[in-house]
Chain A
Amino acid sequence: MFRLKLVPDSLAFDFLRHMRLTAAFSAMLALVSIGLFFGKGLNLGIDFRGGILIEAQSQNAVEVAKIRSDLSRLSLGDISIQSFGSKRDILIRVQRQEGDETAQIAAIQRITETLGENFDIRRTEFVGPTIGAELAEKGMLAVGCALLAIMIYIWFRFEWQFSIAAVIALGHDVISTVGLFALASFEFNLATVAAILTIAGYSINDTVVVFDRVRENLRKYKSWDQAKILNKSLNETLSRTVMTSVTTSLALLAIIIFGGAVLRDFALAMLWGVTIGTYSSIFVAVGVISRFDLKRSDDEDNSAPVPEYER
């Protein structure tokens, strides 16, 4: 009977052999990301920076250049206009206006008036400077608390070495995702924070599955070399890791292609996260624990062969 198997049953790949290479790659990825974050900076959306976002749909195709010249006459400062989804849709972003909140509201009014009757205003978002700062603070708090809680949970369920490895792997994913956003100038907004936390959740899920197997094999093969056990655990879980990455990516692809413009960036970030999360649970998480001398617990020994009556 046909079975689609992306990973052969009898795979025995030496993941740890190239550990130097992957460690160097990961370190570089993290460093470049940090460099991009501080050097180039994030393209912060209005959620965090404050400002105005208007999505409008015209009855016929839009000449972005004409709209741009019309709106620049309002002298509202930095205005970005882009097509959004179809030729009839545009997305207008306006920087935070000088002055207090009333100045912002007035700006929205002037833009909608300038666009005129031909446009249907589909979405208006305005975030004042006070709220922007609060949202940024809350977002960072959310990511920080989630990482901490995950670390504590893993520490309870496994040994402390696993907890450290898991958090390093997670930090690696979060930092490189932020780096990607800086590099590609994707808009970084509240939805991005949600995407990052979901990536963290996905990545930790993957890591825990591998760790679970490592723990089991540590009990099972007491006399084995630690690196051999880690390699065996990775090979045994690889089939599942690939299966889950593929199903999740398929679902994400569906969102990217059909889910509409609003969700596209979100799903793209997630797709990146699934890829990097899979990579990090193999090479970063296991790579880190391979540096430790892990405790072999003495309880139940599963190494006995399958008993006769079960055959």
Chain B
Amino acid sequence: MLQFEGWKKTVVLFVILLGCAYAVPNLFNGSRSDQSTAGVMRFLPGEAINLGLDLQGGSHLLLRADLPAVREERLEGIAEQLRLSFRDEKIRFKGLKASPKAVTFTLRKTENETTLQNIFKELGREFQVINEALTYNVSFSEAGLQLMADNTVEQAIEIIRRRLDPDGTKEPIIQRQGRDRVLIQLPGIDDPERIKRLLGQTARLTFQLVDTRTTADEAKRTGRVPPGSQLLESVNKGEASYIVEKRVMVSGEMLDNASAGFDQNGRPSVNFQLNAAGGRKFGRVTAENIGRPFAIILDGKVVSAPVIQAQIFTNGQITGTFTVEETQELSLILRAGALPAPLIVLEERSVGPGLGADSIAAGQIAAVVGMILVIIYMVASYGLFGIFAVGALFVNIILILGALSALQATLTLPGIAGIVLTMGMAVDSNVLIFERVREELRAGRKVRAAIEAGYKRAISTIIDSNLTTLFAALFLFIFGTGPIKGFAVTLSLGILTSMFTAIMVTRLFIVLWTDAKKPKGLVL
């Protein structure tokens, strides 16, 4: 055992050097792009450890796309489409209505099968039609639902990215999770409320004509809204509602650009440009309806309804009771496009940058103090061998940091606790060996023989005990989320590196010492 071949020494040395090389970038904390260190950094393999959101500050959000709402809306569209098709084909029907899960209707008499099939085919392949005599039921097929979910969530992710990171500089992580969930990890955010404001509205923008045949008050009183029109509230609470034609004249998809500005009265406004198709349509509608109020509707609420003064083509302006900040956010949202479904926040964890920095500082102090305590205790208990163990402990810490950097694992606050804890547990392997050597010395073996026997006997214990701990860490990793996962990673790495340092590094120290000193006796 005490023959430590040359190649083994080389391997140990190589591993330590590799660990150092990966660990060094962490000395230049957070100054990866700093000019002064850029020169040194170029020769080193890795980057600094990824700090978790709880350390660097940021927001973790788990959202759910409201798929039932999308489904209901799509089915309402289907009902409308069927109504138009039946009218064109002069098919008579009754009881056409959309429920959250299906559209149902009954035909007055048997119709031409081919005509019906053509109408149904036009609905799209996500839908299935079942009938019983003359009563029909149109709903999403199993595959259709899946397709709808996939499209909705993927599109939502794209829109979320454009809203949160319009310049592509913030490196947010936006991932789909499961069927209808989206996970967002956004580092370095000062105002988490802003994120929720940016994602809180679907931002569907439409322009619809106001129905002037009746007033909202009258419709409310009689409970009757003219066919083809609907009653919509104003975005401003307490303001009068509007009767608006259901037909959408121009919608947000036709937007080319939007920016915050001011109107001629100096009020904050959102200025927009429509694309060519949108501009043509806008021009036609405004020309035909001069003098009529034109409602600007955002997410089903009327922002304002200015009276059309003249024909307008591509450039328009939205004014309401906005603050400058609101117009900036609204124009950002409009540029990014409408979300295909409302998003519901299931979980949020946000940490401000101040707390993160404090946590790192506290973690560092705890690590240094813990280290000093362990060093004192080890040296007091084992003397020279204690110093060897402490040397191995330093190597151990370097290797953990190096491995974390090399794997680009994320260091979280519980992860720091994991490192500090590993320091306490890392010396355990050494303690096992040293205690064994003590016993062998007491049994009357000579120094070299005692060390040799001590190592030989301790190793199976070390492997058994560490592997069982590794199991616990493994399950933490599998079932843990966020910071807990980070803890599991550091704990597992700590177990592996501490086995390596105890079995190889401390031994190398001891071999070098026995070869150099050729000790006759040993007090341990």
Residues of A within 8 A of B (CB): 1-5, 9, 55, 57, 100-102, 104-105, 108-109, 112, 120-128, 130-131, 135, 138-139, 141-143, 145-146, 149-150, 153-154, 157, 190-191, 193-194, 197-198, 200-202, 204-206, 208-209, 212-213, 216, 236-237, 239-240, 243-244, 246-255, 257-260, 262-263, 266-267, 270, 306, 310-311
CA–CA, A108 and B460, complex, Å: 54
**Known contacts A141-B479, A205-B428, A250-B370: A123-B352 contact under CB 8 Å:** yes
In contact, A250 and B424 (Cβ under 8 angstroms): yes
Query: Which 6 pairs show the lowest CB-CB distances between chains A and B?
Result: A254-B370, A251-B424, A248-B424, A201-B472, A260-B362, A142-B479
B523 interface residue (CB < 8 Å to A): yes
* A247 and B427 in contact, given A153-B467, A191-B484, A254-B366 (Cβ under 8 angstroms): yes
In the complex, what's the smallest C-beta–C-beta distance from A235 to chain B, in angstroms? 11
Contacts of B457 in A (CB 8 A): 216
Of the candidates B351, B369, B474, B523, the one whose C-beta lies within 8 Å of that of A254 is B369
Give A4's nearest chain B residue, CB to CB: B380
Q: List 10 A-B contacts (CB under 8 A).
A: A130-B346, A138-B480, A138-B481, A146-B476, A205-B428, A240-B432, A247-B377, A251-B370, A260-B358, A311-B444
- Interface with A: B210-218, B270-278, B412-420, which one? B412-420
The minimal Cβ–Cβ distance linking B158 to chain A, given in whole angstroms, is 23
Q: Which residues of B in the span 462-510 have a Cβ within 8 Å of any Cβ on A?
A: 464-469, 471-476, 478-481, 483-484, 487-488, 491
Nearest chain B residue, comparing its CB with the CB of A309: B449
Contact in complex: B347, A131 (CB < 8 Å)? yes
Query: Which of B84-92, B138-146, B230-238, B435-443 sits within the interface?
Result: B435-443
Chain B residues near A101 (CB-CB < 8 A)? 64, 344-346
Which of B370, B413, B425 is in CB contact (< 8 Å) with A244? Answer: B425
How many angstroms between the C-alpha atoms of A244 and B469 in the bound complex? Answer: 15
Q: Is B408 an interface residue (CB 8 A)?
A: no
Instruction: Let me know if A259 and B428 touch, CB within 8 A.
Output: no
Kindly provide the distance from the CB of B449 to the nearest chain A CB, expressed in whole angstroms.
4
Interfacial chain A residues near B438, Cβ < 8 Å: 9, 239
CA distance A207 to B524 in the complex (A): 25
- Cβ-defined contact, B472 with A200, below 8 A: yes
Identify B377's interface contact among A4, A104, A126, A260, CB under 8 A. Answer: A4
Residues of A with C-beta under 8 A to B413:
262-263
User: How far does the Cβ of A307 sit from chain B's closest Cβ, in whole Å?
Assistant: 10
Distance in Å: Cβ of A268 to nearest Cβ of chain B: 12
A128, A193, A257: the one contacting B347 at CB < 8 Å is A128
Chain B residue nearest to A130 (CB atoms) is B346
CB distance from B73 to the nearest CB of A (A): 18
Q: Is B423 part of the binding interface, using a Cβ–Cβ cutoff of 8 Å? A: yes
A-B contacts besides A247-B424, A254-B373, 12 pairs, CB < 8 Å: A55-B355, A101-B346, A120-B352, A141-B479, A142-B478, A194-B484, A197-B473, A198-B472, A201-B471, A243-B427, A266-B414, A311-B444
A197 adjacent to B472 (CB under 8 Å) = yes
Question: Which residues of B are interface residues toward A (Cβ below 8 A)?
Answer: 62, 64, 192-193, 196, 200, 344-352, 354-355, 358-359, 362-363, 365-367, 369-370, 373-374, 377-378, 380-383, 413-414, 416-417, 420-421, 423-425, 427-428, 431-432, 435, 438-439, 442-446, 449, 457, 460-461, 464-469, 471-476, 478-481, 483-484, 487-488, 491, 523-524
Q: Is the CB of B425 within 8 A of A202?
A: yes
Bound-state Cα–Cα, A134 to B39, Å: 48
CA–CA, A143 to B472, complex, Å?
Answer: 8
Partner of B363, one of A237, A259, A270: A259
A263–B417 touching, CB < 8 Å: yes
For B466, give the chain A residue with the smallest CB separation.
Answer: A205
Q: Which among B193, B358, B416, B435 is the interface contact of A109 at CB below 8 angstroms?
A: B193
B-chain residues with CB within 8 Å of residue A258 when the two chains form the complex: 362, 365-366, 369
The answer to whether A138 touches B435, judged by C-beta atoms less than 8 angstroms apart, is no
**B181 CB to nearest A CB, Å:** 10
Asked if residues B370 and A157 are in contact (CB atoms below 8 Å), the reply is no
Question: Are A105's CB and B345's CB within 8 A?
Answer: yes
Which A residues touch B378, using CB under 8 A? 247
Inter-chain contacts of B432 with A (CB < 8 A): 209, 240
Interface centre among A157, A247, A267, A306 (most CB of B within 10 A): A247
List, in ascending order, chain A residues with CB within 8 A of B461's CB.
208-209, 212-213
Q: Is the CB–CB distance between B491 and A198 below 8 Å?
A: yes
Q: Are A259 and B469 in contact (CB under 8 A)?
A: no
What's the minimum C-beta distance from B387 to chain A, rounded to whole angstroms? 13
Given contacts A190-B481, A240-B435, contact A142 B476 (CB under 8 A): yes
Number of A-B contacts (CB under 8 A): 252
CA distance A213 to B378 in the complex (A): 23
Residues of B near A244 (CB, < 8 A) are: 424-425, 427-428, 431
Q: Are A126 and B366 in contact (CB under 8 A)?
A: no
For the complex, what is the distance from the CA of A258 to the CA of B417, rounded to whole Å?
11
Point out the residue from A3, A212, A255 that lies within 8 Å of B420, measured CB to CB: A255
- Chain B CB count within 10 A is highest, among A4, A150, A198, A270, for A198
Determine whether the beta carbon of B381 is less than 8 Å from that of A4.
Answer: yes
Q: List the A side residues contacting B344 at CB < 8 Å.
A: 100-102
Q: Which B residues lie within 8 Å of A251 (CB)?
A: 370, 373-374, 420-421, 423-424
- Neighbour of B374 across the interface among A3, A102, A250, CB < 8 A: A250
Q: Are A1 and B421 touching (Cβ within 8 A)?
A: no
- Chain A residues whose CB sits within 8 angstroms of the CB of B444 once the complex forms: 306, 311
Contact call A202/B469, Cβ cutoff below 8 A: yes
- Docked-complex contact A310 and B347, CB < 8 angstroms: no
CB distance from B370 to the nearest CB of A (A): 3
**CA of A257 to CA of B62 in the docked complex: distance in angstroms?**
34
> Do A311 and B446 touch (CB < 8 A)?
yes
**Which of B367, B414, B466 is the most central at the interface, judged by chain A CB atoms within 10 Å of its CB?**
B414
Report the Cα distance A194→B355, complex, angstroms.
22
Cβ-defined contact, A209 with B465, below 8 A: yes
Nearest-Cβ distance from residue A305 to partner chain B, whole angstroms: 9
Which residue of chain B lies nearest to A246 when distances are taken between CB atoms in the complex? B377
The distance in angstroms between the C-alpha atoms of A254 and B422, with both chains bound, is 13
Contact B346 A260 (CB under 8 A): no
Task: Give the complex CA separation of A157 and B460 in angstroms.
Answer: 11
Q: Say whether A3 contacts B481, CB under 8 Å.
A: no
Q: For the complex, give the distance between the alpha carbons of A138 and B478 in Å.
A: 9
In the assembly, what is the distance between CA of A130 and CA of B178, in Å?
A: 14
Of the residues A55, A201, A260, contact of B473 by C-beta under 8 Å: A201
Residues of B within 8 A of A128 (CB): 345-347
Q: Which of A124, A190, A204, A208 contacts B484 (CB 8 A)?
A: A190
B residues in contact with A55, CB < 8 Å? 355
In angstroms, Cα B380 to Cα A198, docked, is 28
